[in-house]
């Protein structure tokens, strides 16, 4: 008979008991008292008996000595193991490391962290030293709502399965970057180098880019900081050479460089399997999120509120850099220049942009430009169900140039100005081209295409309240 119901032994039960039961059943086979079968794939032990089903503990209680002494000794030893339990073992306790309380110089109030006046409050060196002592697989716990002065870079290097849990803490830069660390050198707030299985969550990064430079054409012009100047590489967070990293519930404000930089110009710094979710970036001096060399990037539920450059910039320029397999979704972007840029020299392919809201951008630019080099075609771009709050003036709101396979569907775009252009501009676009079911207000035509562009399937589009498109 087969053990069933509460007698079924799961994979997570006590190993020693499972081993003892297996050997007990094997011994029963040898002396032909029982016939045992172990189905390893399901971790089920079935022990047919002559008439009744017996639990492992019952088998031990009913055991009769045999003429074979070594076998008796083995079974007697096995039967002294703790009783079999069908309850799973509790998970191993997490290795939590609490950052000492004296690292913080204050507790954040409803008005934010106060300005630190003591240079000795800077804990950059102490935090870096502490991180080198924390084992892989640990969780670094920061004090709830603590204020940490971080004037230079916090490094997370070569770590595996490490979590930094901020508990609402703030990392605040008080002193400006020293002259020796200005462009072309760098002074990012966080630098994550190599490693895998990392999580950064629930904290704020605050920089010094708080002086407004107004841009009259922008949406909410008074909310911007200034440009990056000689602090182009002063990112909030920069990732290089990492894999499987998640950044969630993080706010980055007033940094001079990018809010987040993913990868760098060379293949060894490329990053893979990146998830950026529930992140807010404001008053950045360069790009909101710059993806320079990466494969597998998800940007979801992100708000870039006032980006001095692009909100999202996909831009591989290094000889072996690339950007592939990217999803940008459910987010809000507002930028001084362009919302989503895909320039750069090398491949940017397999990109999905969907269900985003676009605030303002420069009237000289479209909100999305997929503009590759003429020497090759980027491929497989899908742009669906996005909505613009403002519009481009005297030019197309979306541009595809040197791209293979484009789908532009279900979007709502606005064209402004006295002489607006066609809503979608196509230059040397080939393969499957679909422009369907969009609402393109103010545009005189659904799209314009040069002679190098292939056949376009355009239908179901509305132009200023009228049905448009004639190639379906």
pLDDT at 92: 37
Top-confidence residue, 60 or 263: 263
pLDDT at 4: 39
Whether pLDDT at 16 is above 70 = no
The rounded distance, in Å, linking the Cα atoms of 176 and 33 is: 81
pLDDT at 68: 59
Fold of domain 96-324: Pectate Lyase C-like (2.160.20)
Q: Are 294 and 319 in contact (CB under 8 A)?
A: no
pLDDT at 64: 53
Q: Are strands 398-409 and 466-468 parallel, antiparallel or unpaired?
A: unpaired
What is the average per-residue pLDDT within 105-127?
96
pLDDT at 267: 82
pLDDT per position as a tens digit, 207-254: 999 999 878 888 899 999 999 999 999 999 999 999 999 999 999 999
Whether pLDDT at 148 is above 90 = yes
Q: Are 320 and 296 in contact (CB under 8 A)?
A: no
Indicate the SS3 state at residue 353.
strand
Compute the mean pLDDT over every residue in the chain, rounded to the nearest whole number. Answer: 84
Q: Are 216 and 264 in contact (CB under 8 A)?
A: no
| Alpha helices (H) along 354-469 | none
Q: Is 180 left (phi over 0), alpha (psi -120 to 50) or beta?
A: alpha
pLDDT at 9: 35
Q: What is the crossing angle of helices 69-78 and 15-30, to 10°?
A: 150
Q: Are 2 and 13 in contact (CB under 8 A)?
A: no
The rounded distance, in Å, linking the Cα atoms of 208 and 378 is: 38
Taking alpha carbons only, the member of 316, 368, 378 closest to residue 344 is 316
pLDDT at 23: 46
pLDDT per position as a tens digit, 190-199: 999 999 999 9
Question: b/e per residue, 172-197, with b = 16+ CB within 10 A?
Answer: bbbeebeeebbbeebbbbbbbebbbb
Which sequence spans correspond to the domains of the chain? 5-78, 96-324, 363-472
- Among the residue ranges 44-48, 64-68, 288-292, 362-366, the one predicted with the least confidence is 44-48
Whether pLDDT at 67 is above 80 = no
């Amino acid at each position: 008979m087969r053990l069933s119901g509460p007698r079924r032994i799961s994979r997570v039960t006590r190993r020693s008991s499972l081993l003892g039961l297996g050997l007990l059943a094997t011994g029963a086979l040898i002396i032909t008292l029982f016939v045992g079968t172990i189905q390893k794939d399901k971790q089920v032990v079935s022990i047919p008996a002559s008439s009744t089903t017996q639990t492992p503990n019952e088998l031990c209680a009913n055991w009769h000595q045999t003429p074979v002494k070594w076998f008796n000794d083995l079974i007697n030893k096995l039967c002294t193991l703790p009783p079999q339990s069908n309850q799973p073992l509790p998970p191993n306790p997490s290795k939590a490391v609490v950052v000492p309380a004296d690292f913080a110089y204050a507790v954040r109030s409803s008005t934010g962290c106060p300005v630190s006046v003591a240079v000795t409050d800077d804990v950059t060196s102490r935090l870096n030293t502490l991180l080198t002592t924390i084992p892989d697989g640990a969780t670094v716990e920061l004090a709830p709502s603590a204020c940490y002065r971080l004037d230079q870079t916090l490094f997370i290097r070569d770590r595996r399965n490490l979590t930094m849990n901020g508990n609402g803490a703030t990392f605040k830069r008080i002193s400006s970057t020293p002259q020796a660390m200005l462009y072309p050198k760098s002074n990012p707030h966080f630098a994550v180098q190599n490693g895998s299985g990392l999580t950064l969550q629930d904290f704020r990064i605050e920089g010094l880019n708080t002086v407004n430079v107004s841009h009259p054409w922008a949406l909410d012009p008074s909310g911007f900081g200034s440009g990056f100047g000689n602090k182009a590489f002063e990112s909030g967070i920069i990732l290089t050479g990492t894999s499987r990293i998640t950044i969630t519930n993080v706010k980055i404000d007033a940094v001079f460089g990018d809010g987040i930089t993913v990868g760098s110009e060379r293949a060894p710094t490329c990053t893979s399997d990146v998830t950026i979710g529930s992140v807010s970036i404001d008053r950045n001096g360069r790009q909101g999120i710059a993806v320079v060399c990466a494969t597998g990037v998800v940007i979801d539920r992100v708000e870039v509120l006032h980006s001095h450059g692009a909100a999202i910039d996909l831009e591989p320029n290094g000889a072996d850099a690339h950007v592939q397999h990217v999803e940008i979704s459910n987010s809000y972007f507002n930028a001084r220049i362009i919302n989503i840029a895909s320039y750069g020299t090398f491949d940017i392919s397999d990109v999905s942009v969907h269900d985003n809201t676009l605030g303002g951008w420069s009237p000289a630019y479209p909100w999305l430009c997929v503009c590759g080099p003429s020497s090759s075609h980027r491929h497989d771009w899908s742009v669906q169900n996005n909505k613009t709050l403002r519009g481009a003036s005297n030019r197309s709101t979306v541009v595809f140039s040197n791209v293979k396979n484009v789908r532009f569907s279900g979007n709502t775009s606005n064209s402004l100005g006295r002489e607006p252009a066609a809503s979608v501009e196509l230059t040397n676009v080939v393969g499957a081209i679909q422009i369907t079911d969009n609402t393109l207000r103010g545009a005189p035509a659904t799209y314009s295409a040069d002679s190098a562009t292939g056949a376009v399937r355009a239908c179901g589009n509305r132009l200023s309240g009228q049905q448009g498109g004639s190639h379906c």
